[in-house]
């Protein structure tokens, strides 16, 4: 009995490594170091690529001219390429009316369904032109409204790496992989995603991340592992829902 419980916990405990703000302009020195680290530990991360980056903060970083060639190389290694917004430029403020209630600036919230579809298609077209397969999405600043979800569904993207919960779940035809904390934290149970902003990292952040990977290597899961585990069960959805407020509190404490 106990070994069964133990196995169940082991099988359902893991973390997906999600990198944010992957674009032509970024901290390429640290990215090179991370690539070697992922290779060494056989980790398949999710890379949140901004297809048409126009964010002036990000444009200040060094530019890689053969960026899309690099993205194809990552994709051929089995690393998951996710769409992280379209231009990464905030155009509205959700004023806490966004789906997850985080509030703040948004590229998508409060825009009409038609406009959101145009924006998402625009981004997806860029990936198609570059012959890169995309199966998932996460919005800049975690801000979505119901139209964002409808627009994604209409564009054939049903996997969202964001939101609350301790376990991936399906809801309204979409799969959600929770993203809970600002720092890398391994929970004793559940499967969720990191958010890593390389551009803001200092050398010590890299060292800490390396330690985290070494310590939890066995619990690091790939995007495909997670898709196989996504449950539509009401039980999982209820647990996630019940934990929503606890996680909201921890998030405001910037864990
Ligand atoms: Zn971002």
- Summarised one tens digit per residue, pLDDT across range 57-78 is 999 999 999 999 999 999 999 9
| 33 touches 196 (CB < 8 A) | no
Cα separation, 91 vs 118, whole angstroms: 15
CA of residue 168 to ligand 1 center, whole Å: 21
The answer to whether the pTM exceeds 0.85 is yes
Q: What is the DSSP string of 95-125?
A: TT-STT---SEESSTTS-HHHHHHHHHHHHH
State in Å: Cα 76 to ligand 1 middle: 23
Tell me, in angstroms, the distance from the centre of ligand 1 to residue 2's CA: 42
For residue 84, how far is its CA from the centre of ligand 1 (angstroms)? 7
Dist. CA 49–CA 158, nearest whole Å: 17
| Helix or strand holding residue 229 (H, E) | helix 223-229
Q: How far is CA 39 from CA 26, 29, 183, 206, 236, in A?
A: 20, 16, 22, 15, 33
**CA of 140 relative to ligand 1 center, distance in Å:** 4
Q: Which of 83-87, 96-100, 154-158 has the lowest mean pLDDT?
A: 96-100
Residue 96 binned pLDDT confidence (cut-offs 50, 70, 90): confident
Gap from CA of 142 to ligand 1 centroid (Å): 9
Q: What is the pLDDT of residue 94?
A: 82
Q: For residue 78, how far is the Cα from the chain centroid?
A: 16
Q: How many residues make up the chain in this entry? A: 255
182 exposed, middle or buried (CB, 10 Å; 0-12, 13-18, 19+)? middle
Write the pLDDT tens digit of every residue in 192-238: 888 999 999 999 999 999 999 999 999 999 999 988 887 655 556 66
Centre of ligand 1 from the C-alpha of residue 75, in Å: 20
């Amino acid at each position: 009995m106990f070994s069964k419980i133990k196995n169940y916990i082991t099988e359902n405990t893991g973390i997906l490594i999600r990198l944010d703000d992957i674009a032509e302009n970024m901290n390429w020195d640290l990215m090179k170091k991370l690539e070697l680290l992922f290779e060494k530990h056989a980790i398949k991360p999710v890379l949140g690529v901004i297809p048409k980056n126009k964010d002036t903060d990000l444009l200040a970083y060094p530019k890689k001219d053969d960026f899309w060639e690099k993205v194809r190389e990552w994709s051929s290694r089995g690393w998951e390429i996710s769409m992280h917004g379209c231009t990464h430029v905030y155009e509205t403020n959700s004023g806490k009316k966004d789906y997850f209630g985080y509030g703040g600036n948004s590229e998508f919230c409060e825009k009409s369904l038609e406009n959101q579809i145009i924006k998402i298609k625009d981004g997806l077209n860029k990936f198609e032109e570059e012959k890169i397969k995309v199966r998932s999405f996460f919005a800049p600043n975690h801000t979505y409204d119901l139209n964002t979800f409808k627009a994604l569904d209409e564009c054939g993207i049903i996997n969202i790496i964001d939101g609350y919960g301790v376990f991936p779940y399906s809801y309204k035809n979409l799969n959600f992989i929770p993203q809970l904390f600002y720092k890398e934290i391994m929970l004793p149970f559940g499967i969720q995603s990191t958010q890593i902003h390389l551009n803001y990292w200092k050398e010590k952040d890299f060292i800490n991340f390396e330690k985290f990977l070494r310590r939890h290597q066995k619990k690091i899961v790939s995007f495909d592992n997670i898709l196989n585990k996504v449950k539509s069960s009401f039980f999982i959805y209820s647990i996630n829902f019940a934990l929503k407020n606890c996680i909201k509190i921890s998030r405001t404490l910037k864990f």
